[in-house]
Amino acid sequence: MEDTIVKILAALNEVSGDVKVVAIDGRCAAGKTTLANKLAEVTGAGLIHMDDFFLPEELRTEARYKETGGNIHYERFAEEVLPALRNAVGFEYMCYDCENMRFGAKRMVPAGILRIVEGSYSCHPKFGKYMDLRIFCDVNPLEQRTRIKMRDGSNALPVFLNQWVPKEERYFAACKIKEQADIMICTSPPLRH
């Protein structure tokens, strides 16, 4: 992990501007949150979690789910987060609690010159190129399955494998998210044939 952090910090040193923004996108259970937390711990960066922008029930329509990346509340992210990212002062946004299916507490993003947006859909094309550095976290399918099961339990595994993972994969392919990354991080050993 330390080598990865050093690589990211070196890449950020190449970026000009007062406030720098990193987007960490990638596959479910690939370590995006772990990487973002470690990077924030080392740098003091403010964190924005895409999981806080889970799509509320009233927007879950068949048409919306047919959109590539439509299962994230991109309108709210664009309204509450994008305008504040380049401002060094702190800001807050509402968190959607997907477990209870309602809005929960507000999340405070502290003042600072580094912001990290982490989670699947953080590089959604509807947001434009707001980031200075794009990171893609990858994981092989077998390791992904193991991690989801450990993290979310056996009962949640089929939902991830049949619903969320296919939606993410469609987004990655259609929007060429992996191909546009500045830094690729694979958090699992390659599969052997």
Q: What is the pLDDT of residues 36-82, one digit of tens each?
A: 999 999 999 999 999 999 999 899 999 998 999 998 999 999 999 99
The continuous run of DSSP H or E covering 97 comes out as strand 91-97
Considering the domain boundaries, does residue 192 fall inside one? no
Reading the block at residue 48, the tokens are 């924005």
pLDDT at 190: 62
Q: CA angle, 181 as apex, 165 and 162 as ends, to 5°?
A: 5
Provide the domain count of the chain.
1
**What is the extent of the structural domain holding 91?**
2-186
Share of the chain above pLDDT 70, in %: 97
Q: CATH code at 110?
A: 3.40.50.300
Contact 32, 119 (CB under 8 A): yes
Is residue 24 one of the residues assigned to a domain? yes
Q: Is residue 129 part of a domain?
A: yes
In a domain, 191, yes or no: no
Mean pLDDT of 21-28: 96
**Model confidence over 81-109: pLDDT tens digits?**
999 999 999 999 999 987 788 888 999 99
Closest CA to 15 of 128, 130, 124: 130
Has residue 193 been placed in a domain? no
34 within some domain: yes
44: left (phi over 0), alpha (psi -120 to 50) or beta: left
For residue 11, name the pLDDT band (cuts at 50, 70, 90): confident
